[in-house]
Amino acid sequence: MPAVLVLVLVLVAPVAEAATRMGIPGLPQRFRESNIAGDVQIYEVGPRDGLQSEREQVPTSVKVELIQRLAVAGLRAIEATSFVSPRWVPQLGDAEEVISALDMSGPVRYPVLVPNLKGLERAMDVGVREIAVFASATESFARNNLNTTVDGALEMFEPVIATAREHGILVRGYISMCFGDPWEGAVQLRQVVYVACRLVESGCTSLSLGDTIGTGTPGHVLALLDALKSGGVGADVLALHFHDTYGQALANVYAALGAGVREFDSSAGGLGGCPYAKSATGNLATEDLVWMLNGLGIETGVDLDLLIGTSVWMAERLHRPSPSRVVNALAGSECDV
């Protein structure tokens, strides 16, 4: 039997066994809404956004197993790690080892964060095919997260994006603090539109709008999408990245779905936070997102039971329960770690 198949069986068997105890047959019931057409792409950020703030070093083998389990659960875009300064984010200092352990030639995409040419060189050396640069809508976060200004970051990314594109590497552009900033408070729509246009001009192939501290609400999401459309940035190139600090993430996704967005970032079990934005908690949990999309009859390709089994397994490794409502509803007692 090929080694890869053995690995998949070893990973799936115990989780599948647990999964039979988790799902509730026939639920959620499906009601498709006529104004929401097409499938949705879930962009899983748990291994990167979810783990980057962990104080205790997560072993490389656990990171790799997490990513492989997520792939087996059907996720097709898994942000695996960051090629940033290990002085700034020590938890992800093993980026080369993580990427080298993955099958980079299969159907699963493994994008990584890259801030500068040094990061790009490291990523290319281990065969990365997709990267993300990460800009900020606010000066405070640009300073705290990248040690530069909003424009300084955009300038730093220009050669990164150009070099990546020359090598056929896709480039996502994140914009953080789109819906509020812990130091500056309200963020004007025009600040986000400015950064979005600069990233598109520089050659980003898609953009992800970050609600880094989770303060956004559905009306704000719609207003921002409108402002971006007026600025020439349509929903077809956009993803939304909600942290769930104030419990607004799913409502925000629902609003964005109605406005045509079809890509959403989330992290398995709601892992996460940002080391340079104190009030940031975990991302929207992938399980909570999948449950809602399942109810709307929208295809994601994700096996919810396998995913929950993975989050329960990860919660045990991190010694704390998952904050996901769906994980707790369907595997509650198994989360008491």
Q: Which residues are catalytic?
A: 274
Nearest distance, CB of residue 77 and ligand HMG, angstroms: 14
Instruction: Name which of 47 and 119 has its Cβ closer to ligand HMG.
Output: 119
Range list of β-strands (E), the chain:
41-44, 81-82, 112-113, 130-136, 170-176, 206-211, 238-242, 263-266
Instruction: Name which of 122 and 262 has its Cβ closer to ligand HMG.
Output: 122
Nearest distance, CB of residue 223 and ligand HMG, angstroms: 18
Q: Report phi then psi at 145, rounded to 5.
A: -100, -30
Nearest distance, CB of residue 119 and ligand HMG, angstroms: 3
Query: Residue 27 is which amino acid?
Result: L
Q: Which does 84 bind (CB under 5 to 8 A by kind): Mg ion, ligand HMG, none?
A: ligand HMG
Q: Which does 172 bind (CB under 5 to 8 A by kind): Mg ion, ligand HMG, none?
A: none
Residue 236 CB contacts under 8 Å (≥ 6 apart), including other chains:
260, 262
Residue nearest to ligand HMG (CB): 210
Answer yes or no: are the C-beta atoms of 286 and 302 closer than 8 Å. Answer: yes
Question: What does the alpha-carbon distance between residue 135 and residue 202 come to, in Å, rounded to a whole number?
Answer: 12
Question: What does the alpha-carbon distance between residue 179 and residue 224 come to, in Å, rounded to a whole number?
Answer: 9
- What is residue 337's three-state secondary structure? coil
Answer yes or no: are the C-beta atoms of 252 and 215 closer than 8 Å. Answer: no
Binding site for Mg ion (CB under 5 A): 49
Nearest distance, CB of residue 40 and Mg ion, angstroms: 19
Binding site for ligand HMG (CB under 6 A): 49, 52, 82-89, 113, 115-116, 118-119, 122, 134, 145-147, 174, 176, 210, 212, 241, 243, 274-276
Residue nearest to Mg ion (CB): 49
Q: Report phi then psi at 242, rounded to 5.
A: -105, 125
Nearest distance, CB of residue 50 and ligand HMG, angstroms: 10
Q: Which does 216 bind (CB under 5 to 8 A by kind): ligand HMG, Mg ion, none?
A: none
Measured CA distances, 113 to 96, 160, 237, 319, 334 (Å): 12, 11, 18, 26, 32
Instruction: Name which of 119 and 273 has its Cβ closer to Mg ion.
Output: 273
Instruction: Name which of 52 and 68 has its Cβ closer to ligand HMG.
Output: 52
Query: Residue 110 is which amino acid?
Result: Y
Instruction: Name which of 215 and 324 has its Cβ closer to ligand HMG.
Output: 215
Q: How would you label 203-227 residue by residue, b for 16+ Cβ within 10 Å and e otherwise? A: bbbbbbbbbbbbbbbbebbeebbeb
Q: What is the DSSP string of 200-253?
A: HHHT-SEEEEEETTS---HHHHHHHHHHHHHTT--GGGEEEEEB-TTS-HHHHH
Nearest distance, CB of residue 4 and ligand HMG, angstroms: 30
Instruction: Name which of 244 and 334 has its Cβ closer to Mg ion.
Output: 244
